[in-house]
Amino acid sequence: MNQLSSQDAQFLYMESEDNHIQVTAVAVFDPSTVPGGKVVRFKEILAHIEKRLHLSPLYRRRLERVPLELDFPYWVDDEQFDLENHVQHIRLPEPGDWRQLCIQLSRFHARPLDMSRPLWEMLVIEGLEHVEGLPTGCYAIATKLHHAAVDGASIVNFYRGLVDIDNKGTPAVPLDQFTESHSRAPGLLKMAGRAVYNAVKSPIAMTDAVMRSAPALYRLGQQALTSQREPSTPVPDTRFNSNASPHKMFDATTFDLDELKEVRKAVPGCTINDVVLCICGGALRKYLMRHKELPGESLVAWVPINARPGASKEADSPGNRITSMTTRIFTDVSNPVDRLRRIHKATKRSKEAKAGISARLMTDLSQHVPAATFVTAGRLVLRAGMAANICNLFVSNVPGPQVPVYMNGAQQVATYGIAPLVDGMGLFIATPSYNGKISFNVTSTRETLPDIQFFIECIEASLASLQKAATKELSRR
């Protein structure tokens, strides 16, 4: 039996009627690379996907819920699976420009998945005739998955099974590397028996986890006592800490990855992720200043961290293997290099803490919380909008392949991502990278970010300011 982990299940319990916890990955393809100038038709895309279904269990498995939510749901085979129920096809309305693409992607992302089927959908979008920066004649494939099934890293692995390393159709993943797995639906008695067993086992396993972590818990206690002597910085209240409405908004801008690599030289030791946070901090500062809403305290970002082991079978498994950190992004600092320097110090401290005990301990303990308690807690957190007390926005940096990939002979030329929101925190900036490019993808709602195009301009201006300040800093050395 293949049961959801507590971390996977929490993304089910965080949903509301107006807000669905799902992720949409978008790949844009240029058919001019297809050998012989052949046209890529929708039926050929369907046939290609069908040949790769066995590479991931996500394609054919659906959720089987336990009555009364007495235990976490199970992944089971969908006996009625039909590929054409999951892959749709549209054409952009005139003029086929970037704005029309963003509108269609926002609508697709906002629609809920059919929870009685495998938790994914694809939308093939043709007619990208006048999208600046993309070759004429491109088409996009948007893939929407429920967050209960995937995290950022497993989305990359899911997608890797679909693409090729050349336009001749050589798979990026050998087609014989995986065999199709099956998960049969457990009977009602078996689910009930397992629910009772898990409920009885949970307190024992919880105690065992605490006892094994006792030395580390002592260190955490010492750190907590120390931190009480230091002044704490509250999370400021901003427009982004509102409830997430069903009216989702999406926009994005793309840079050369080398531009970010160059500016990070201004602060020795800093990472691309630090630069991303610095750009986001500068953009938010500019945006909130325009609206006369910039708080005196720094905004706080929630940053997911991939917790998958580097070289193991678990590294390619679906589901969620993430921890996270919160960090100030110093929107109260005007100098971009000074902001980058402070962000680097803050993230270094947070990562050192996460590399120690806190992330591992909380993950271990959450696995032993009874399902009914987890359901109740998740819904209470959702209704209370508690995210607003923790952070102001999400920022997620997910590296993708840095070489060209293909599908049906067409080369992928761009990648974008639309992320989920939660009540109390209505802004998500995702920064996937691919083939030397990195895109800043903004997900929000119409009520929270009505001028999303101006916010994109703020991101572009923030990088330009950071480049100018970094050049000046490097010239002084």
* Active site residues per annotation: 147
Say if residue 95 is preceded by a cis peptide, omega within 30 of 0. Answer: yes
421, 110 contact by CB (below 8 A) = no
Cα(244)–Cα(249) distance, integer angstroms: 11
Buried b (16+ CB within 10 A) or exposed e, 67-88: eebbbbbbbbbbeeeeeeebbe
Tokens of 159: 């997608």
Cα(472)–Cα(78) distance, integer angstroms: 59
Query: CA 477 → CA 104, 134, 169, 337, 453, distances in Å?
Result: 48, 39, 49, 14, 37
Amino acid at 393: L
What is the CB neighbour count within 10 angstroms for residue 328?
A: 24
In the chain, count of helices (H) and strands (E)? 12, 16
What is the CB neighbour count within 10 angstroms for residue 209?
A: 16
Tokens of 363: 């993950």
Nearest CA among 153, 157, 163, 146 for reference residue 29: 163
Residues 6+ apart with CB under 8 A from 457: none
Pairing of strands 437-445, 433-434: antiparallel
End-to-end CA distance of the chain: 61
Strand partners, 319: 150
Residue with tokens 């069903």: 246
The DSSP-derived string for 197-250 is HHHHHHHHHHHHHHHHTHHHHHHHHHHHHHHHTSPPPPPPP-GGGSPPPS-EEE
Pairing of strands 87-91, 120-128: parallel
